[in-house]
A and B are shown apart, each in its own frame.
Chain A
Amino acid sequence: MQKIIETFSLTRRFGSLMAVDELSTCVYENEIFGLLGPNGAGKTTTIKMLATLLLPHAGRAAIGGYDIVKNSYQVRKVIGYVPQMISSDPNLTGFENLLIFAKLYDVPPRTRLKQIEEAFEFMGLKDSKHKMVKNYSGGMIRRLEIAQSLLHRPKVLFLDEPTMGLDPTARKIMWEHIDKLRKDYGTTILLTTHHMEEADKLCDRIAIMSFGKVSATDTPINLKQSIGKIDATLDDVFTHYTGSDIDNATNFRDVRRTRRVAKRLG
């Protein structure tokens, strides 16, 4: 298997806080790789660095062979990114959101409409494409955001907490779409989550993150077996590797942000 993302001692601080601490890991082509950890573990900072939004303070990383700092322009061409917050414009229709991005990513005019159509179809939004995004449901907005990130057929797609604020039904639909995305388009997906169930169901491999460091990386099954407990859950795995419960690791700021996104998604 070919490595498509590689990080070497990737580090980022915010003041005295070490957000990502010498992270070295890799993601293989066509896999769904999950960064699992509580809010504040450094997942979003890692994704932001890989998506060229934040500069690392030390270490380096490459995507598809391109260095994220030296070749950021090439990196941007091969990645798609759906941030934790809402990134589709609520004051436009779904179609307009996709049209603008198709133009921004140089999707050729001849195939533009066809590709937009296909993206709507793929994410199950065909009937709502001319609705204003502010009238979409939470699950629909998330799917639209992914549709928007797919237009230029990225090799790697970063999904930062793709199911945050969604109800269980919308979450399941989202999982199906993410899985289909990998199968149909061969997209490599790096997602962050703090839902154990999500990581378990969706990811080929999981990296457990806490306080900016990765404490273990493996398939969900191997991780469960590694702690030597029969019937272990990923919760047990997380506690084993980080020494704390995932629920106890969040603070006021994280709760406020999560609730804000949840509120916006309705």
Chain B
Amino acid sequence: MIMKNAFKQVANFIAKTFVIVELELRKLLHDPSELITRAIQPTLWLLVFGQVFTKTRAIPTGNIRYLDFMAPGILCQSVLFISIFYGITIIWERDLGIIHKFLVSPAPREALVLGKALAAGARGLSQAVIIFLLSLILDVKINWNLLNLLGVLFAIILGSALFSTLSLIIACLVKTRERLMGIGQLITMPLFFASNAIYPISMMPGWLRVIASINPLTYLTDATRSLMLLEATSANGLLLDFGVLSVTLVVFIWIGGKLYPRVIG
């Protein structure tokens, strides 16, 4: 009986999560223009920054060409940049009154948060499509093995979900879009630079390595890079990468579920 109830609760949780995913995807289908504008930034990073730095050979990336090393890093960076401002939609929905109606429904609050997070994953995947297309043009040595592609897909969804939930948590705490924008801008650059996105950890001074080792972006990039490129291997091991990302996401969803109702207060 207890087992049956637990099963029912889990099934309900998953069902409600996917209702929210459906809602967000429907909105995206009505207006996909944001996906196009968001393609510009990673394109600039790869075409301008990447090509120049590949020529200067300033960053040692072993047997991998710098542009190849950087492509997965830029994918993870754009996932971070998009997701970290996701909380703005939460504040917009709060201002309209949409959130109130969701919070009055019997759906578990954690399911509402996870649904939003996974929908952010869909936006992250659009970035993956762009980076893969650019990588083709720039002759990046991609591993086309189906399992590897699925692995990248999974990592990007996980990463987008994680950073968008972090953004939701900040939104629930600061409650205004101005403060959220400020904090978002304050943390994106440190997260980006204290990671292995555009240079290897081995180049960093000791203190920065410590920060990089507690930065989820490092684990996301490590996993994505080793799955996406033919010649790269994971520095941490995929198990640790996905382990850190999953546990962090679960903790964030739990906190987000607790804080979500506070956004309307």
Chain A contact residues, CB within 8 Å of chain B: 51-54, 73, 76-77, 79-92, 96, 100-101, 103-106, 132, 145, 148-149, 264
How near does chain A come to B32, taking the closest CB pair, in angstroms?
Answer: 12
**Which residues of the partner chain B approach A105 to less than 8 Å between Cβ atoms?**
105-106
Nearest 10 pairs of A and B residues by beta carbon: A85-B97, A87-B101, A87-B97, A83-B100, A76-B106, A81-B104, A83-B97, A103-B19, A91-B27, A100-B23
B30 within 8 A of A: yes
Verify if B264 is at the interface (C-beta below 8 Å from A). yes
- Point out the residues of chain A lying under 8 angstroms from B102, CB to CB: 104
Q: Which residue of A lies closest to B99 (CB)?
A: A87
Q: How does the 8 Å CB contact mask read for B74-118 relative to A, with 1 for contact and 0 for none?
A: 000000000000000000000111101111111100000000000
A-B contact list, 24 entries, CB within 8 Å: A52-B104, A53-B103, A53-B264, A81-B100, A83-B100, A85-B96, A85-B97, A85-B100, A87-B96, A87-B100, A87-B101, A89-B23, A91-B31, A96-B26, A100-B19, A100-B23, A100-B26, A101-B101, A103-B15, A103-B19, A104-B16, A105-B105, A105-B106, A145-B101
Interface residues of chain B, those whose CB is within 8 Å of chain A, are: 15-16, 19, 22-23, 26-27, 30-31, 95-98, 100-107, 261, 264-265
With A85-B96, A86-B97 known to touch, is A76 a contact of B105 (CB < 8 Å)?
yes
A84 and B102 CA atoms in complex are apart in Å by 14
Residue of A82, A101, A104, A105 with highest tally of chain B CB at under 10 A: A104
Taken together as a complex, chains A and B put the C-alpha atoms of A101 and B22 apart, in Å, by 11
Instruction: Please measure, in the bound complex, the distance between the C-alpha atom of A6 and the C-alpha atom of B19, giving whole angstroms.
Output: 33
| B14, chain A: closest CB distance, angstroms | 13
B101 in complex: contacting residue of A52, A83, A264, CB < 8 Å = A83
- Contact check: which of A79, A81, A87 meets B98 at CB < 8 Å? A87
Q: How far is the CB of B242 from chain A (nearest CB, A)?
A: 30
In contact, B97 and A84 (Cβ under 8 angstroms):
yes
Q: Is the CB of B30 within 8 A of A91?
A: yes
